[in-house]
Amino acid sequence: MSDALAHLREAAVERDWYLLQDTLAEALGEVEYFAGLEIGLTRAHAHLPVFEAAHPDASWARALLVWLASYGTPPADLPMDAGLPHASPGANNYVTALVEITRSAERKTPYENRIRFLANAIGNLIVADLAAYWYGENPDMWEFQQEHGSELDDETGQPISQTVYTAFWLDDAVAARDTAAWLAIADALEKKTKDE
């Protein structure tokens, strides 16, 4: 196992997102680009049913994933609907991830930037999954945050959206799911290094 993968595993257990993003980029740089792209596309495809259930008219997401998986390069233009807001738990992280995966596939972009886009996409895919999971378990919190998020919490003086986000992030099940997701990415990368 490389130092980058060892550090990725350590950061996953500690949930150190600053280190996770940089270490993931380093680990992705140790495998062939398309091996990393496959990991990102697999995660994006796994979350697609959640996104489509909340946004059934957003067929562009599936079409974009099929295009990227088929050709390994982005289409000439991103779908216009990708720029629209998608109001459901994790949806904006998911859309950001799809855009970042697409940017990573642009061959004229410097390789280091492509790897960083891919690492950012994978991180956003993990957050999309975590948000969909937690708000799915706590649907009243999504509605409450949407209605009152900009108001201040009387007890903390913080915006209610921050209070809800803190409850989400510190939830034990979310923490376990977050760590497991990052460790699964590390496992997939380690498998790819052995396959090369």
Residue 135's closest CA among 178, 168, 175, 180?
168
3-state secondary structure string across 51-75: HHHHCCCCCHHHHHHHHHHHHCCCC
Q: Would you give per-residue pLDDT tens digits along the chain (196 residues)? A: 689 999 999 999 999 988 999 999 999 999 999 999 999 999 999 999 999 999 999 999 999 999 999 998 998 888 888 888 888 999 999 999 999 999 999 999 999 999 999 999 999 999 999 999 999 999 999 999 888 888 898 888 899 899 999 999 999 999 999 999 999 999 999 998 887 6
Domain that holds residue 38: 3-195
Task: Please state, in angstroms and rounded to a whole number, the distance separating the CA atoms of residues 8 and 22.
Answer: 9
Residue 132 exposed, middle or buried by CB count within 10 Å (0-12, 13-18, 19+): buried
Total number of domains constituting the chain: 1
